[in-house]
Structure 1
Amino acid sequence: MPRPKIPRNICGRPADPCFKPNGIPMVNLEQVELAADEFEALRLVDLEGKQQQEAAVEMGVSRQTLANVLKRARFKVADCLTHGKALIMHS
C-alpha cells in the first residue's frame, strides 16, 4: 500500500486549462493530464528559475519528491509536443 500523498502548496494556476495542436478537433486528440503539483513544479523551476531545493520548500515537499514530480511533468509536456497530444491542466 503506497504512502498517503503529502498536501502540496500550489500558488500558480495555468492561464488556460488546455493546450492542443491547432486545427485538430479535441475529440481526435489523445489527452495527457498534468496535475496541479506538476504544473507548479514546472512553474517554479523552469519558469521562475528557482533551485529544486528552494522550490521544494515552497511547495512543502522534499527535494526528491519535487524532482520526481518535475520529471513526470517534463515527460508529459515533451510527450504532448512530440506526438501532438492535448495537454489538460487541472487547477
Structure 2
Amino acid sequence: MFWFHGVPGWGWFAMSLGTLFFWVLLIAAGILLARVLTRGAGHSQAPGGTGRPTPEQLLAERFARGEIDEDEYRRRLSVLRQGPGRPER
C-alpha cells in the first residue's frame, strides 16, 4: 500500500469523502441493476402485488394486438365483470 506523506488534514478528508462517494455510487448501481433485472418483461402488476396481469389486462392486450375484435372484447369483458355465480342478462 502506498502511503501519502505530507498530505494536510483537508487532503485526508477529501480522500475519505471521495472513497465514501465511490462506494455509495457502486452500491446504488448494484441495487438499481438488481431491480431492473427482477422487474420482469414489462407486464403491469395486478392489485395486491402478485406480479401477474389481471384477466381484464390480458383481454385488453389481446384486443390491442388484434387477436380479437371489438364485439368479442366487449362480450368477454362483460362476462369478466359479472363475476362468478351471477346470472347472465
TM over 0.5: no
Structure number with bigger Rg: 2
With a CA cutoff of 8 Å and minimum separation of 6, indicate the structure with the bigger relative contact order: 1
**More helix, by proportion:** 2
Using the size of structure 1 for normalisation, the TM-score is 0.28
Using the size of structure 2 for normalisation, the TM-score is 0.29
